[in-house]
Amino acid sequence: MDQRTLEVSWTTLSEIIRRVTKTEWNEFSVFFRATGDIGSVAQLIIDKSKVHKQLTLLKKPLSILEVRRIFEVIAETTGYGSRERKERLIETLLGRATSVEAKYLVKILTGEMRTGFQEGLMELAVSRAYSMPLKKIQVATLRTGDISEVAVICKKEGKEGILNLRFKVFRPVKPMLAQLAENVKEALDKYHERTAFEYKMDGARIQIHKSSDEIRSLVVVSQMLVQVCLRLSSSSGKNLM
């Protein structure tokens, strides 16, 4: 999964939408109060804008690959003048988009895109798409921390690629979360004689990875974690998680 962020503010997007469609702030506010969603506002305003419709008729339609390339450039744009460069890219993008395309582009840019898919459902879909046992897909996701990476491996390498997956230092591992039970009896009935009990202490779920002399904590390091990292630095193991 691509973890890069676009870092485009609501204010910047609203300014670009108004600039592209020649819309005044008062009119923009009316649409926003009615919908409460900036993506829907973009769609409604563009539908109403005669100027935008005339421009889009003269321009080449957007492709998915082109949108991806523009998003990549936006994500990689940093430093002095980056805001202005990002604004020009987004303005070009929205200037060529249809009203429906603009709605979803804006939702992606603001991080408000909701598909409703949970990771468990995606694991099931990958399992069925590539005829892999669901349990193998779940273990692979645990080891890579990324269902999209698992899907790519399934497609390129098949079952052998999934079975050969191993933990890697500095690659985050998904935590194994507990399953809920209404009471102790329910847990015992489900697992029979394979059940064990232990004390549970509250605390932070963290990961610290070590390779030779390099140590990384996969959470914000507090003073307490600094002490843990220092202890690990003196350990004899070369690769530790």
pLDDT along the chain (241 residues), means of 10: 67 88 88 86 84 61 89 87 89 88 88 65 90 90 84 92 82 66 79 75 68 63 56 65 66
pLDDT score for 61: 83
Q: Would 174 be classed as within a structural domain?
A: yes
Task: Tell me if 216 sits within 8 A of 170, measured CB to CB.
Answer: yes
Provide the CA 218 distance to its chain's centre, in angstroms: 17
Q: What are the backbone angles phi and psi of residue 240, rounded to the nearest 5°?
A: -135, 145
**123 and 91: one domain?**
no
What DSSP designation does 160 have? H
- The answer to whether residues 75 and 127 belong to one domain is no
Same domain, 96 and 124: no
- Asked whether residue 201 is domain-assigned, the answer is no
Q: Cβ neighbours of residue 18 under 8 Å, at least 6 residues apart?
A: 24, 25, 28, 45
Q: What is the pLDDT of residue 237?
A: 62
Whether 165 and 152 have beta carbons less than 8 Å apart is answered as no
Listing DSSP states for 45-101 in one string gives HHHH-HHHHHHHHTSPPP-HHHHHHHHHHHHH--STTHHHHHHHHHHHHHHHS-HHH
Please check whether residue 202 lies inside any domain of the structure.
no
CB 137 within 8 A of CB 162: yes
Identify whether residues 106 and 34 lie together within a single domain. yes
Distance of CA 132 to the CA centre of its chain: 24
> What is the domain range of residue 130?
119-194
Active site residues: 200
Same domain, 179 and 138: yes
Question: How far apart are the C-alpha atoms of 178 and 196, rounded to whole Å?
Answer: 14
Q: Which residues of 161-181 are buried (b: 16+ CB within 10 A; e: fewer)?
A: ebeebeeeeebeeeeeeeeee
The confidence score (pLDDT) of residue 38 equals 87
Q: Is residue 21 included in any domain, yes or no?
A: yes
Q: Which two tokens stand for residue 2?
A: 């691509």
Judgement on whether residues 18 and 86 belong to the same structural domain of the protein: yes
- Considering 110, 139, 168, which residue would you say is the last residue of a domain? 110
| pLDDT at 55 (0 to 100) | 57
The total number of structural domains in the chain stands at: 3
Residues 16, 67, single domain; the answer is yes
Residue 164 belongs to some domain of the structure = yes
Helix, strand, or coil (residue 228): helix
The answer to whether 173 touches 206, Cβ cutoff 8 Å, is: no
**Radius of gyration of the chain, Cα coordinates, nearest whole angstrom:** 24
Contact 106/13 with Cβ under 8 angstroms? yes
240 near 209, Cβ under 8 Å? yes
Judgement on whether residues 29 and 65 belong to the same structural domain of the protein: yes
Do 51 and 124 share a domain, yes or no? no
The pLDDT value recorded for residue 126 is 92
**Statement to judge: residues 44 and 85 lie in one domain:** yes
Residues 102 and 126 in one domain: no
Same domain, 29 and 73: yes
Q: Is residue 135 part of a domain?
A: yes
